[in-house]
Amino acid sequence: MSDATTQLVAPRRLRVAIYAADPLRRAALRRLIANSDHDAADTTEAADVLLCDGDCRSTEARPFVTLGGTDTGQAGLLAPDADANQIDAALRAVAAGLIVRSPGAEETGFAAMKETDLQMLLTPREIEVLSAIGEGMTNKSIARRLNISLHTVKFHIESLFRKLGVRTRTQALAKASERRRIETVEL
Amino acid sequence: MTDQADVLAQLSNALAARVAAVRGAIVAIRLPGERHLSGTLWQPDVVVASEQSLPKRNEFELIMPGGSAQGGTVSAKVAGRDPGTNIALLRLAQPVSLPPLVSGPAEAGALALAFGADGVGGTSVRMGAINQAGPEWTSSAGGRIDQRIVLDIRLARAEEGGPVLNAAGARLGITTFGPRAEVLVIPAATIERIVPALLRDGRIARGWLGVALQPVGVPDALHDEAGQSSGLMVMSIVDGGPAAKAGIVAGDIVLTVNGTPTRRLRRIATHLASESIGRNADLRVIRGGRVLSVQAVIEARPPA
């Protein structure tokens, strides 16, 4: 079997190198890769495909999938909030030599500045609770750290879930890190 | 019947004449993988392109109008990039002759022609109505765009950055993609305003405080004192930047900048235009449950 043929057959289990500036986001993507039965590769050389949060700096010969970022003709371009199934499907497709675009990826053009949407803003307390969830803390230890009752922690978490439109802690973390990426303003 | 055919033939001839008039201003910018992007000759030695789609490199090969037979392939250095207005400039080593084009106004409903490079020295053409000709706007990167011009035209990726003419043959600007592949025009007025500074400095200086912020709700207990229900919480601070020098710390919630509530981001962007560098920014912040006032001196944003 020639090298070219080998490359065109997508292995069942892919080695994926992940690039994300935000450590929370990187951790979330690592988990997602593991849940899809792929292995995280530490270096580009050891990877079959690259997964980049936003623009990939690499001009690698290896195919890469970006979550958001510019369409520079890379193999895969998904929306920044693509879900686990879409990311898995895209990684397998680009490893098989296909090109992947999603309708949501079209949101990346030259756009007007957005004003803050006041509806679903998190409060500083909710952000503290969220970052504690990100550290894997239980409700009990969150209550202890923030010096509030268990009841109040549950109240904050319910409010967080409602504002983010999610049902689980993992979803809340993914959604919040995505929102943070979109909403973060640099002045 | 003959009359109708004549009208169409006249329109067709007029369109072909427009193409002939602008052809000499359209270049192809070579990209890896046999692809290209379009650029518009703006001055005899300056090509304007769409910043967002130009890879981050210092030098590009350009296929000049006429292709290898005439203009051939030349290399051009990137002379400046401004993500704020989405303008990138490429400088040619040798000036070339430029077709005489004047800039003109955009009106909703008027016809527009969008041109691109075909990658072998020729021109591709699209025609459609000007879908919107709105007021000036601020881009997400903080640049001021003189007019919101949207075209009712579909464009190929390779055609982005080519010139747009109105029916009278006046140059409206260059094309770029907005969200959902909407085709926008970077107005000629914006390009003319930005080009001299961009050629001189390689970038457009913007005011900078050196903070990354996230919108948050103001805690209920502080609504009255703060006088508003949202603010921007400081997530990180650049070491040695203006905010750091002013004593801003992570967790501070910025309520206003020079009196403008932080939810009015477009207004805030105008407070940080290039003229603001060296001036004071008055920040009202919530820290430790109290509202206080902090002054920072605006500096120029360091190069990325």
- Structural domains of chain A ordered from first start: 8-108 (3.40.50.2300), 124-180 (1.10.10.10)
Put simply, the answer to whether A106 touches B179 (Cβ < 8 Å) is yes
Q: What does residue A88 show for φ and ψ, rounded to 5 degrees?
A: -60, -45
Give the pLDDT score at B33.
67
Lowest mean pLDDT among A96-110, A118-132, B143-157, B237-251: A96-110
Closest residue to A106, CB basis, from B180, B214, B257: B180
Closest residue to B214, CB basis, from A71, A117, A180: A180
Q: Is the pLDDT of residue B111 over 90?
A: yes
Give the pLDDT score at B88.
97
What percent of chain B lies above the pLDDT cut of 70? 96
Q: How far apart are CA A71 and CA B177, in angstroms?
A: 11
Closest residue to A124, CB basis, from B157, B216, B229: B216
Q: What does residue B77 show for φ and ψ, rounded to 5 degrees?
A: -90, 145
Give the pLDDT score at A116.
64
Mean pLDDT of all residues in chain B?
A: 90
Taking only residues 111 to 140 of chain A, the set having a beta carbon closer than 8 angstroms to any beta carbon of chain B reads 111-118, 121-125, 127
The mean pLDDT of B60-78, rounded to a whole number, is 82
Give the pLDDT score at B245.
93
Give the pLDDT score at B211.
93
The mean pLDDT of B164-179, rounded to a whole number, is 94
Contact predicate B46/B195, CB 8 Å = yes
Lowest mean pLDDT among A106-110, A148-152, B13-17, B106-110: A106-110
Put simply, the answer to whether A115 touches B86 (Cβ < 8 Å) is no
Q: Which residues of B touch A79 (CB under 8 A)?
A: none
On whether any CB of chain B is under 8 Å from the CB of A180, the answer is: yes
Model pLDDT for residues A136-156, shown as the tens digit of each residue: 889 999 999 999 999 999 999
How many residues does this entry show for chain A? Answer: 187
Closest residue to B139, CB basis, from A110, A121, A184: A110
The mean pLDDT of A163-179, rounded to a whole number, is 86
The mean pLDDT of B53-66, rounded to a whole number, is 91
Closest chain A residue by Cα to residue B140? A113
On whether any CB of chain B is under 8 Å from the CB of A70, the answer is: yes
Nearest to A61 by CA among B56, B32, B60, B158: B32
Give the pLDDT score at A171.
86
Q: Is the pLDDT of residue B69 over 80?
A: no
Give the pLDDT score at B1.
47
Token code pair at residue B67: 């292709």
Look up the pTM and report it.
0.72
Give the pLDDT score at B3.
54
On whether any CB of chain B is under 8 Å from the CB of A99, the answer is: no
Q: Is the pLDDT of residue B222 over 70?
A: yes
Closest chain A residue by Cα to residue B230? A118
Indicate the fold that domain B2-201 takes in CATH.
Thrombin, subunit H (2.40.10)
Q: Is the pLDDT of residue B227 over 60?
A: yes
Give the pLDDT score at A100.
92
**Rg value, chain A, Cα:** 19
Q: Is the pLDDT of residue B103 over 80?
A: yes
Put simply, the answer to whether A114 touches B265 (Cβ < 8 Å) is yes
Put simply, the answer to whether A111 touches B139 (Cβ < 8 Å) is yes
Strand pairing class (A49-53; A64-67): parallel
User: Confidence class of residue B229 from pLDDT cuts 50, 70 and 90?
Assistant: confident
Put simply, the answer to whether B213 touches A184 (Cβ < 8 Å) is yes
Q: Is the pLDDT of residue A105 over 60?
A: no
The mean pLDDT of A159-166, rounded to a whole number, is 89
CATH architecture of B207-300: Roll (2.30)
Give the pLDDT score at A117.
65
Mean pLDDT of all residues in chain A?
A: 82
Closest chain B residue by Cα to residue A112? B139
The mean pLDDT of B131-157, rounded to a whole number, is 92
Q: What does residue B51 show for φ and ψ, rounded to 5 degrees?
A: -60, -40
Q: Which residues contact B109 (CB under 8 A, 6 or more apart)?
A: B129, B130
- Nearest Cα of chain B lies from the Cα of A150 at a distance, in angstroms, of 20
Closest chain B residue by Cα to residue A68? B179
Q: Which residues of B touch A130 (CB under 8 A)?
A: none
- Nearest Cα of chain B lies from the Cα of A105 at a distance, in angstroms, of 8
Q: Which residues of A touch B208 (CB under 8 A)?
A: 187
Q: Is the pLDDT of residue A81 over 60?
A: yes
Give the pLDDT score at A2.
44
Give the pLDDT score at B34.
76
**Domain boundary assignment for chain B:** 2-201, 207-300
Residue with tokens 């011009």: B149
Give the pLDDT score at A58.
57
- Nearest Cα of chain B lies from the Cα of A46 at a distance, in angstroms, of 24
What percent of chain B lies above the pLDDT cut of 90? 60
Model pLDDT for residues A14-70, shown as the tens digit of each residue: 999 998 877 888 888 999 999 989 998 888 888 889 998 877 765 567 888 988 777
Longest dimension (CA), chain A: 64
Q: Which residues of B touch A60 (CB under 8 A)?
A: none
- Nearest Cα of chain B lies from the Cα of A39 at a distance, in angstroms, of 29
Which helix (H) or strand (E) is A40 found in, with range? strand A39-41
- Nearest Cα of chain A lies from the Cα of B97 at a distance, in angstroms, of 30
DSSP B202: S
Put simply, the answer to whether B269 touches A113 (Cβ < 8 Å) is yes
Q: How far apart are CA B119 and CA B289, in angstroms?
A: 61
Put simply, the answer to whether B216 touches A121 (Cβ < 8 Å) is yes
Model pLDDT for residues B178-220, shown as the tens digit of each residue: 987 799 999 999 999 999 999 999 998 888 899 999 888 888 8
Q: How far apart are CA B226 and CA B293, in angstroms?
A: 12
- CA quadruple A18, A19, A24, A25: dihedral sign: negative
